[in-house]
Amino acid sequence: MNVNASQFEFATKKESQDQEILRKSLTYWQDAWRRLKNHKLAMVGLIGVILILLFALAGPLFSRFSYSDQILDYSNVPPRMDIYEVADDYYVFITRDYKLLRISEKGEILARIFDSDKDAINKIYTYSDVDEGLDIALDFSYNLLPGKEADYDYTFAANGGPEISKPYKTVSNRTYPFGSDGVGRSILVRVMYGARISLTVAFVASIVNLLIGVVFGSIAAYEGGRTDIIMMRFVDILNSIPLIIYVILIMVLVGNRGLWTMIIALGSVYWVTMARLVRGQVLSLKEQEFVLAARALGVNRSHIISRHLIPNAIGPIIISMTMMIPSAVFTEAFISFIGLGVSAPMASWGTLANDALSGLMSYPYQLFSPSLAIAITMLSFNFLGDGLRDALDPRLRKG
């Protein structure tokens, strides 16, 4: 074949680049990560999950208190304090139960000043600081009229000096940043340790549920027929009983309240949702050509399930796993809240909320901290799970 070179001309550099594939091909997981990064709420959730894990694992290392350390003199101290300057560079704070604490100007609790005289009738308390040679008189009044917010007024006088009725300033509590509870334990440290308990229960229970649910659901779907009917009717029986009631029943029967009892209780029934999900995925996959090819080559059932079916259903499994963790956190918090959680002095978020309930009107900050931790954890995992669903499910991809 004779070709006339004069009929052709070389393409310019720009024209040749227009024909090239400028973006390199991505693997399934690289493409999923690219989509996840573009999901703003999912990245917020991922950052939240990382911060919660660092808060739980590394936070207690930077605190001088443990979850069980009690200082009764510093009980029920709020995270924000109105301090009074009763003498030069001498600041005090009065608690709701009339404990007088010496506070530094920056908000660190230095010591408790004990009362030397009480006149409850005239509402005058006298406190003595022997080291500083100060006698501080506290004249207090309060308004508890129906329909009005409680109003407390304090007047201080040191060594018979001028009366001080206005706070010097409001400072943050540096000793107990989240305040202290009724026996003088740091709420911040207990929330950190409570995060360890709650997240350990949630993660371990979710992993156990993942293993049981994936194996159970995949076998039921692949075998089909009578095996599938029997296995799924067993799941229906478990699913007919409310999860909370079943978990509470197991906790009561076991009797030994503790971390592993909680994990066993959740792990024994929490897998039914995962089993249903995996069964549905495997039913849609087992008639595909690659499964028929594996059967024709003589691959045994266990290898078909473990190497072909489950890997192709891994996206929905991961999404469901991510959604199960916040649900397990809430379930554990509820069980602990009703008194069936870990034993004292250990505490999960639910236990902390239960302990704070009795003093809700006087010390609301004690309930606010664990409740906020539960809310942030659930939102973070839900945001992350929603982003993973969009990134891993090919039917929801938009480009």
Residue-wise pLDDT for 341-355, tens only, equals 777 777 888 888 888
Three-state secondary-structure class, residue 87: strand
Out of 74-78, 243-247, 274-278, 304-308, pick the least confident: 243-247
> What local confidence, expressed as pLDDT, does residue 108 receive?
93
How high is the mean pLDDT of the chain? 82
Average pLDDT of span 188-205: 88
> Across the chain, which distance is largest between two alpha carbons, in Å?
121
Q: Does domain 187-396 match CATH 1.20.1440.230?
A: no
Selection from 116, 119, 124, 130 nearest residue 155 by Cα: 124
Distance (Å, whole) CA 212 – CA 235: 12
180, 69 in Cβ contact below 8 A? no
Q: What is the pLDDT of residues 318-329, one digit of tens each?
A: 888 888 888 888
State the pLDDT at residue 21: 53
Structure tokens at 201: 């229960």
For 196, what's the count of Cα atoms within 13 Å in the CB-facing half-sphere? 14
What pLDDT sits at residue 290?
83
Which one, of 238, 237, 219, lies nearest residue 283 by Cα?
Answer: 219
| Cβ neighbour number for residue 398 with a 10 Å cutoff | 6
Question: Average pLDDT, stretch 24-50?
Answer: 83
Indicate the pLDDT class of residue 302, thresholds 50, 70 and 90: confident
Closest CA to 248 of 232, 230, 261: 261
